[in-house]
Amino acid sequence: MSWLKRIFDNRHRRARAAEGAGEWRRAAALWAEAGESVRAADALLHLAARGGDLDARLEAWHDALRWLPTDDAERRDEVERRMGVAVLEDARARGATSAFERRRLAEAAERLERADRPHEAAEAFAILGRKEDQARCLELAGDIERLEALLSETHESERHESRMRRHLADYENALRFGARLEARQALRDALREAPDERSVAELLRRLEGRMPPPGRVRLAFGGAEITFVGRLPAVLGRGDDVEIRVRGTSVSRRHAALDVRDGAVVLRDLDSSNGTLVSGLPIGGPLELTGPTKVGLGDDVRLDVRPAGTTLHVDVESGFDRGARVVVGEGALRPDGLAASISFDAGWAVLTADASAPLTLEGQVCALPVHLLVGDRLEVAGVEVEVRA
C-alpha cells in the first residue's frame, strides 16, 4: 500500500488513535484489518509488555505469533522465549501442581528449548521432575558440572526406589506367609529409607496395631477360648498389669502368684486383703502344688490349677470371669486339642504346627511358624483357629 493511501486510509488513522489511547488489542485488530500484520503483532507485543495477568500476557503473545511472518525467525524466537520465561518465573514463585499448570510449564520448556535457551528449559523440566529432558537440555547448554550432578542424583534416586521396592516386596511376602516379625522389620527398613513416606508409616501402624499384647495371646478353637501367657511368675488378680486377670468382689489387684521353682509349682499369697485358699484353707506362705488343685481368691473366685511340667492350666470356675481358661508358662505351651504349640518371640506370640500337621493362614499354606496377629484365621490339621483381641 502506498504511503499516500496509508495517510488517508481511515483504518490506519483509527489504529494509530487506538495505540495513542493505549487500546493495543483494538489497534491490533485494526492493523490486521488494514493488512498490516507486522504492526498488528507489534501492538500485541506492546500489550504483553505492559505486564499484569499471566494468562492475558500469554494470550497476547499467542496472538502476536499469528501475525508475525513465518520467515521472521528472530522475532518469533524472541516471543517464544518471553512466553517460556514468563511461565517459568510463575512456576518458580508458585510452583506447578495442577494438571493445567504442569501442562503449561511443559509447553514453556519446549518453547525455551526451541528458542535456544537450554539452561532455562532445563530448569523448567527440573520443576516438572522430567530428569531425562533436563539432562538433554543441560547437555545442549554444555553444562557438564550440573549434568554430572543430575546423573549422580538420578542414579541415587533409582537405587533408592529399588531399595524401597525390595523392602515392600519383603514385607508383602513375609506378611503372606506369617513371618510378621520379618514383615515389621521390612517396613522399618523402608521407613529408614524414606522417613516421610506416610503410606509406609500407615502400613507399620496397622501391623503393630494388630499385634497381641506382649507375652500373651487369646485363641478360639474347638469351641473353646484360651489365653496363653508366656512368662513366670504369673500374678493373679483384678488389676490390668497382671498375667492372669480374674475379677471378683474379694479379689485384690495383685492377689496371688504362681511360679515354677526347681520343677515344682509354687503358689503364694501377695498380702491380699481376703487371702488365698487351697482346699478351703488359707495359705500362710509359699505352697508347693503336687497335682490338680482348687485355689480360692477370697470368698467368691475359685480356680482349678493343673500343673503339666513347667506349664500351668488355670480354669476359672467362679467369679466374674467364670469359664475363662489360661495356659501359662515359659517355652512352648501345648494347647489341648490342637496339634501345635504356642511360644513367644521377643514377646510376640508364635504358633508352630506339629511336624505332621498342615498349617494354613487365610488359606495360604505355611511351612514355617506364624507370628500371630489379632484377626488371623488359621487352620491346623483341620482345626480352625481365630486370634482374638
- Cell readout for 220 is 478360639
Same-domain check for residues 236 and 384: yes
Q: What angle do CA 320, 325, 328 make, to 5 degrees?
A: 120
C-alpha separations of 356 from 129, 221, 367, 381 in Å: 56, 19, 11, 8
Same-domain check for residues 130 and 36: yes
Contacts 24+ apart (CB under 8 A), 309-317: 309/263, 310/232, 310/260, 310/263, 312/234, 312/258, 312/260, 312/265, 314/236, 314/244, 314/258, 316/246
The pairing of strands 359-361 and 364-365 is: antiparallel
Same-domain check for residues 9 and 109: yes
How many whole angstroms separate alpha carbon 169 and alpha carbon 23? Answer: 64
Gyration radius from the chain CA atoms: 40
- Domain span at residue 120 reads 3-145
Find out whether 371 and 350 touch, Cβ atoms under 8 Å: yes
Q: How far is CA 51 from the centre of its chain?
A: 45
The pLDDT of residue 9: 62
pTM above 0.85, yes or no: no
Same-domain check for residues 264 and 243: yes
Find out whether 372 and 212 touch, Cβ atoms under 8 Å: yes
- Cell readout for 200 is 509406609
Does residue 233 have a cis peptide bond before it, meaning omega lies within 30 degrees of 0?
yes
Question: What are the pLDDT digits (tens) for 286-341?
Answer: 999 989 999 999 999 999 999 988 899 999 999 999 999 999 999 999 988 999 99
Same-domain check for residues 286 and 325: yes
The pLDDT of residue 19: 87
- Those residues whose C-beta lies under 8 Å from the C-beta of residue 51, and which sit 6 or more positions away, are 57
10-residue block means of pLDDT along the chain (389 residues)?
A: 53 87 92 91 92 90 93 91 93 92 94 92 93 91 89 84 94 93 96 94 96 96 95 95 95 96 92 95 93 94 92 95 95 92 94 95 92 96 95
DSSP string across 216-250: EEEEEETTEEEEEE--SSEEEESSTTSSEE---TT
Same-domain check for residues 238 and 360: yes
Please say which residue of 175, 209, 243 terminates a domain. 209
C-alpha separations of 4 from 1, 9, 12, 329 in Å: 8, 9, 11, 113
Same-domain check for residues 125 and 157: no
- Those residues whose C-beta lies under 8 Å from the C-beta of residue 202, and which sit 6 or more positions away, are none
CATH number at residue 27: 1.25.40
How many whole angstroms separate alpha carbon 103 and alpha carbon 33? Answer: 33
Please say which residue of 165, 190, 209 terminates a domain. 209
Same-domain check for residues 273 and 292: yes
Find out whether 279 and 291 touch, Cβ atoms under 8 Å: no
Same-domain check for residues 140 and 156: no
- Cell readout for 62 is 499467542
The pLDDT of residue 1: 47
Backbone angles phi, psi at 41, to 5 degrees: -60, -40
Find out whether 264 and 283 touch, Cβ atoms under 8 Å: no
Same-domain check for residues 86 and 157: no
> How many CB atoms sit inside 10 A of residue 294's CB?
13
Q: Where are the extended beta strands (E) located within the chain?
A: 216-221, 224-229, 234-237, 244-245, 256-261, 264-269, 276-278, 281-282, 287-289, 293-297, 301-308, 311-316, 325-329, 340-345, 348-353, 359-361, 364-365, 370-371, 377-380, 383-388
The pLDDT of residue 4: 45
How many whole angstroms separate alpha carbon 293 and alpha carbon 317? Answer: 12
Same-domain check for residues 103 and 135: yes
Q: In total, how many domains does the chain have? A: 3
Question: What are the pLDDT digits (tens) for 239-253?
Answer: 999 999 999 999 999
